[in-house]
Amino acid sequence: MKVDRRVAKSQEAIKKALIELMTEKSFDNITIQDISDRANVNRGTIYLHYMDKFDLLDKIMEEHIYNMSDFCESAAEMDFLESTVHCMEYFENNFLFFSTMLASEGAPYFRSRFLQFNIEEFRKDVDITQGKNAGQREDVVVEFVSNAYVGVVEWWLKNGMPYPPRVMAEKVGELLERIV
């Protein structure tokens, strides 16, 4: 089903407005009126698409998790470095969202969802039957790697992406190869 361009444009404006507002004040202090004013739409338009601001935030998070999942499937054919570069570029292209959700403590719930997503992805790569992780507990290795990865992404975003995506991917890749 094709979405009307006007509807898509309104939804994007609403999503962007919420993320921008979250960089300025806490989520709890943001009202639907604030969002509608920033997005230049009326309150009814927001309620046409979302039940409330929580539903809106949840839909934004779901969209990014879905995009990352879809991206990971397409990156499966790439080598590890190239897929990591693409991940870092995705974070860079969606800097406002990720820096708000991860770096500014804007939505602790997103961090836990992002971490869970990475746990599921890294679980596919961890091998405890041979090599450097032989004899380790899979759950411990997966938790360690996932938390390290999320922590490094947070650090990178909090510090204004001090390294380009490719450099960051190379450094993260080198570290992950030591563990995974």
Residue 158 has pLDDT above 60, yes or no: yes
Express each pLDDT in 14-30 by its tens digit: 999 999 999 898 888 99
Distance CA 15, CA 104 (A): 17
Structural domains of the chain in order of their starting residue, each with its CATH number: 1-50 (1.10.10.60), 59-179 (1.10.357.10)
- Per-residue CA distances from 129 to 132, 134, 148 (Å): 9, 5, 22
Compute the Cα dihedral for 84, 85, 88, 94 and give only its sign: negative
Distance CA 155, CA 163 (A): 11
Is this model's pTM higher than 0.85 or not? Answer: no
- Tell me the average pLDDT across 66-73: 80
Residue 126 has pLDDT above 70, yes or no: yes
